[in-house]
Structure 1
Amino acid sequence: MMRIPILYEDNHLLVVAKPPGIPSQGDESGDLDMLTLLKLDLKERYNKPGNVFLGLVHRLDRPVGGAMVFAKTSKGASRLSEAVRSRHFGKTYMCIAQGKPAVSEADLIHYIRKDQKRNQVAVFDKPAPDAKDARLSYRIVAADEERSLIAVKLHTGRPHQIRAQLAHIGCPLVGDMKYGDCRGAASSHIALWSTSLSFPHPVTKEQVTFHSVPDSTGIWSRYTNEQLEAAAACYTGDDDIPIHKKGRYL
């Protein structure tokens, strides 16, 4: 079984750190996906007969890693999905971009239209036919002339939103050849990580927040663990962000 960090689990929620390169759910590739892996694990750990219920609440693009929440009950799935629809589901990310945005902190407002056949989006500065508004806030945590470590808070959840919006302002994400990074070799990973999820617990209604921080290795090795933790804490107000490797694994 693949080593997938479990960030939190109770009778209603399963929060994990998705490794990059794994689909969130089954797709045309036929590769093993997060939903299937977690169902298999639950079945084995709890010795469950028959099919195991696990609700997919949101998705991360295949080359993206970090925090994901799944619902262990149908009631939990319904309530979490409603939190997403009503925008009571907070998401923050960190990324490494080529170059440096013109200002250190800003809100980006664009309009995004998805091409389903190409699985790619187009970004517009003004409203366009079939394009939906896309809003995010970003803050540069560390930068030089070549690359920038950036914290991002999403206000809308459009497909490929962070990747496309930052590319649109001239700062494609490291490793993201789909949106303009042509400086490196093709990879199954891009420098984008889901650092926190915040939402009302589907049963207790208490506001809960879960964090994930990548290790300072591979595509993230340019920055120290302290810098990565600082990026993860930018929009949550937390001083001590736990690194996911300290949690337990499947």
Structure 2
Amino acid sequence: MTEQQNKHLVTIGKEYDKIKLDKFLADMYNVSFSLVRKMARKGQIRLNSSRIKGNETLKVGDMVKIPGLFLHTQEEMLEANAQAKPLFTAKQIKDAKTWIMYEDDDVIVINKPAGITVQAGTGQEKSIDRLFAEVYPENHPKLVHRLDKETSGCLVLAKNKSVAKDLSYQFSKRHTHKRYLTIVKGNLQDPQGEIDFNVEKVFTAHNREQMKVHVSRGKEAKTFYKRLARNKDFHLLEVEIETGRTHQIRVHMKAIGTPILGDGKYNDHSQNSLPNGKKVKMCLHSRDIEFKHPNKNRMMKFTAPVNSKMLEAMLALGFDTNKI
């Protein structure tokens, strides 16, 4: 293999294991996500000799074919990036900066809005990781945990690999503390309780991924709730999770007969309305998060204000917002 051919083929090492292909290319070659997608559509990027979409997850040993354009001079790359259609508008990038609640040399803590996915994937091009790569073009922040697309609230990003590794470990080993607010609907008899059903991934008749509870199969999951307010069958709850399974709070609340108000996946659409008949989006908010700062060596706690739509639902139900 010639030197030039070597430049066009890259073997994935441990530092990029389980990273999305487009993020790897953006980090390695300082190119935009939109340019990566454009090159992927043209077949100029290959993964293990196969055509790709760009959002594939890499693993150690994968071979990536790099387009010659990515190896050109910085001036040529800037011109190519400028010609590619931007994924986000200037206003969206500016607005994202207003979500930041805390920032230092190592971490960023944001109040994530509902309606945007955290990590890009199939059918989900616009995401927090891609948006903040535009906010910080010189040093793309790294995800260390997740929130569902329709969940708002505290989300932590790392500014470098060592901090990302430390924080990811804290989240995976349950050394962090998270507290949520949610509105559920149904006959919730106990004002507080623990839900400890296992959670497993299943597929619907339309081959859509969904989580469900099971007595023995799946992964262990524990959810604790406390009622803060009530209006007939509507309940404002404070929720804490000991584990962090996919859709855990949503599927656990459904399992005890009180699905989250506005949850289009685990609640009947006819039940996602306020008493006045107004439809609502999912009422689940990550209010508090606490973790140990990797370099300051002390615990840090952050609280994210509830988003306007959920606050509107709370007021419509007569809940005292001063208690949150």
So what's the TM-score if we normalise by structure 1? 0.81
**CA RMSD across the alignment:** 2.2
Secondary structure in 2 aligned to 1:58? Answer: coil
How many residues are paired up? Answer: 220
> Which runs of structure 2 are paired with 1:1-250 in the superposition (5 Å)?
1-2=91-92, 3-4=95-96, 5-43=99-137, 48=138, 52-115=139-202, 117-124=207-214, 126-128=215-217, 131-182=218-269, 183-184=271-272, 189-215=281-307, 217-224=308-315, 227-228=320-321, 230-231=323-324
CA drift of 1:53 comes to: 3.1
Q: Would the aligned equivalents of 1:100 and 1:148 in 2 still touch at CA under 8 Å?
A: no
Runs of 4+ in 1 over 3 A off after TM superposition: 184-189, 224-229
Q: Would the aligned equivalents of 2:111 and 2:153 in 1 still touch at CA under 8 Å?
A: yes
Q: Which has the higher strand share?
A: 1
Q: Would the aligned equivalents of 1:134 and 1:156 in 2 still touch at CA under 8 Å?
A: yes
Q: Deviations over 1:113-137 (max 9, x none)?
A: 012652210112x222xx1111011
Secondary structure in 2 aligned to 1:223? Answer: helix
Partner amino acid, structure 1, of 2:112: K
Q: Would the aligned equivalents of 1:213 and 1:229 in 2 still touch at CA under 8 Å?
A: no
Q: Any stretches of 5+ residues in structure 2 without a counterpart? A: 1-90
Distance 1:181 1:13 in 2: 39
Q: Deviations over 1:130-187 (max 9, x none)?
A: x111101101111121311111011000000000001100001111121123323798
Partner amino acid, structure 1, of 2:157: F
Q: Would the aligned equivalents of 1:20 and 1:188 in 2 still touch at CA under 8 Å?
A: no
Q: Would the aligned equivalents of 1:92 and 1:154 in 2 still touch at CA under 8 Å?
A: yes
Distance 2:101 2:319 in 1: 20
Secondary structure in 1 aligned to 2:136? Answer: helix
Secondary structure in 1 aligned to 2:149? Answer: coil
CA drift of 1:229 comes to: 5.3
Distance 2:136 2:319 in 1: 34
Q: Would the aligned equivalents of 2:259 and 2:266 in 1 still touch at CA under 8 Å?
A: yes
Q: Would the aligned equivalents of 2:230 and 2:319 in 1 still touch at CA under 8 Å?
A: no
Q: Would the aligned equivalents of 2:101 and 2:111 in 1 still touch at CA under 8 Å?
A: yes
Distance 1:221 1:213 in 2: 13
Partner amino acid, structure 2, of 1:15: V
Distance 1:39 1:55 in 2: 9
Q: Any stretches of 5+ residues in structure 1 without a counterpart? A: 232-250
Q: From the CA coordinates, give the structure whose radius of gyration is larger.
A: 2
CA drift of 1:100 comes to: 4.1
Q: 1:229 to 1:155 in 2, by over 3 A?
A: farther
Secondary structure in 1 aligned to 2:102? Answer: strand
Q: Which has the higher helix share?
A: 2
Which has the higher mean CA deviation after the structures are superposed, 217-226 or 76-85?
A: 217-226
Kindly indicate whether structure 1 or structure 2 has the higher relative contact order, using CA contacts under 8 Å at least 6 residues apart. 1
Q: Would the aligned equivalents of 2:180 and 2:238 in 1 still touch at CA under 8 Å?
A: yes
Q: 1:120 to 1:111 in 2, by over 3 A?
A: same
Which has the higher mean CA deviation after the structures are superposed, 82-91 or 71-80?
A: 82-91
